[in-house]
């Protein structure tokens, strides 16, 4: 894919993070360069970088930026100050578990460096771990694509919700990885793209990605999904996920649960695609997944357009949880997981 969502440029202690500003898409393709981890944390909060895997990579890179500022400290002070950086990064968004997984890997990488090591060795260890997370995510996306493409026949018509493509990862995506890989295999695939309100990630991001890749995309309003399923126009649904519990309950962008219900009603297979790092086996089921609630202005005044009466009360959860019983299979880098999920997730992921 020609899209490079996020990357680390240069070497510590002079590295910077280059990322595409997704808030500007599809109108302008603008790349930001960050040397301050606080600015990168702000980019995560304001959705300039988004998607669970990409957030994890951004979190790891943010640790590198934060700690290269501390390269002149003693090793003991360097280790102590790491907690301040990781706390700031971890506070950005609560639902995507990949962020916490990546930060924990960075903390472990630091702990694994001998106590007698000089500060620059500590920083180099963090840089190496962040790059390992980045390259691993690219590989995981490719594997998800290979497994997911097997579910797509020539002529398949796929419905997506939100964006789970290259923009949401360091690689070719999760849900869209299956579509990209199937297309590379010579299969003709068309995609119905839910607009995904209130922030229109489907309309702004997924449609842009697919058009850039030359894949047939048909944009629909969120409330049209049931109609096209009832007309037999959809063969399968594939979405991403931000956190998957031990029983297979999956949190994804708000509206995913409704799409899953419609798919069950109309006999359309509903698949979730995610890497192993999106699974949170500490949670028995989806009731424990923290759901981020965002600014009411995203609903009342999207992109500055006042569409609702001033002062109206707003409920704006960014995610919902799709119960495992509505999910046909979960496409992972380690293979396709089928029910019973608790047993099979533990075997393949645990």
> Are 89 and 130 contained in the same domain?
yes
Mean pLDDT of 286-310: 95
Quote the pLDDT of residue 225.
98
- The CATH number assigned to the domain holding 150 equals 3.40.50.10470
> Are 274 and 222 contained in the same domain?
yes
Q: Is 242 a catalytic residue?
A: yes
Q: What is the pLDDT of residues 48-63, one digit of tens each?
A: 999 999 999 999 999 9
Quote the pLDDT of residue 327.
98
Q: What angle do CA 169, 273, 202 make, to 5 degrees?
A: 65
CB-based contact 259:161 (threshold 8 Å): yes
Catalytic residue among 222, 242, 249, 320: 242
Mean pLDDT of 239-266: 98
In a domain, 84, yes or no: yes
> Are 320 and 202 contained in the same domain?
yes
Q: Is pLDDT at 9 greater than 90 in this prediction? A: yes
Q: How confident is the model at residue 168 (pLDDT cuts 50, 70, 90)?
A: very high
Q: What is the pTM of this model?
A: 0.96
Q: Which residue has the tokens 């047939």?
A: 216
Q: How confident is the model at residue 350 (pLDDT cuts 50, 70, 90)?
A: confident
Quote the pLDDT of residue 2.
63
> Are 299 and 182 contained in the same domain?
yes
* Structural domain harbouring 77: 6-141
E strand segments, the chain: 6-9, 16-20, 31-34, 157-160, 190-194, 216-220, 236-239, 243-245, 250-253, 270-273, 279-280, 319-322, 329-332, 335-337
- The CATH number assigned to the domain holding 104 equals 1.20.120.420
């Amino acid at each position: 894919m020609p899209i490079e969502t996020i990357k680390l440029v240069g070497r510590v202690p002079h590295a910077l993070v280059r990322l595409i500003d997704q808030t500007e898409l599809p109108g302008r393709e603008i790349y930001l360069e960050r040397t301050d981890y606080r600015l990168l944390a702000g980019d995560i909060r304001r959705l300039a970088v988004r998607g669970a895997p990409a957030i994890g990579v951004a979190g790891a890179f943010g640790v590198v930026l934060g700690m290269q500022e501390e390269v002149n400290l003693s090793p003991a002070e360097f280790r102590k100050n790491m907690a301040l950086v990781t706390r700031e990064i971890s506070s950005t968004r609560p639902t995507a578990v990949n962020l916490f997984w990546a930060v924990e890997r960075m903390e472990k990488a630091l702990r694994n460096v001998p106590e007698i090591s000089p500060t620059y060795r500590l920083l180099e260890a963090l840089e190496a771990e962040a790059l390992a997370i980045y390259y691993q995510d690219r590989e995981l996306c490719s594997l998800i694509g290979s497994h997911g493409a097997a579910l797509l026949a020539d002529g398949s018509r796929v419905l997506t919700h939100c964006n789970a493509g290259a923009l949401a990862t360091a690689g070719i995506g999760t849900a869209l990885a299956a579509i990209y890989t199937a297309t590379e295999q010579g299969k003709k695939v068309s995609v119905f793209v839910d607009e995904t309100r209130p922030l229109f990630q489907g309309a702004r991001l997924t449609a842009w990605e697919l058009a850039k890749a030359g894949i047939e995309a048909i944009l629909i309003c969120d409330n049209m999904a049931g109609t096209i399923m009832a007309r037999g126009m959809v063969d399968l649904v594939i979405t991403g996920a931000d956190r998957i519990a031990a029983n297979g309950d999956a949190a994804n962008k708000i509206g995913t649960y409704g799409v899953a219900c419609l798919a069950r009603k109309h006999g359309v297979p509903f698949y979730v695609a995610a890497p192993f790092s999106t699974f949170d086996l500490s949670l028995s089921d989806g009731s424990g997944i923290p759901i981020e609630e965002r600014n009411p202005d995203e609903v009342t005044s999207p992109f500055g357009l006042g569409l609702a009466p001033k002062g109206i009360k707003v409920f704006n959860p960014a995610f919902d949880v799709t119960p495992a019983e509505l999910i046909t299979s979960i496409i992972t880098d380690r293979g396709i997981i089928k029910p019973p999920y608790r047993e099979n997730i533990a075997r393949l992921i645990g």
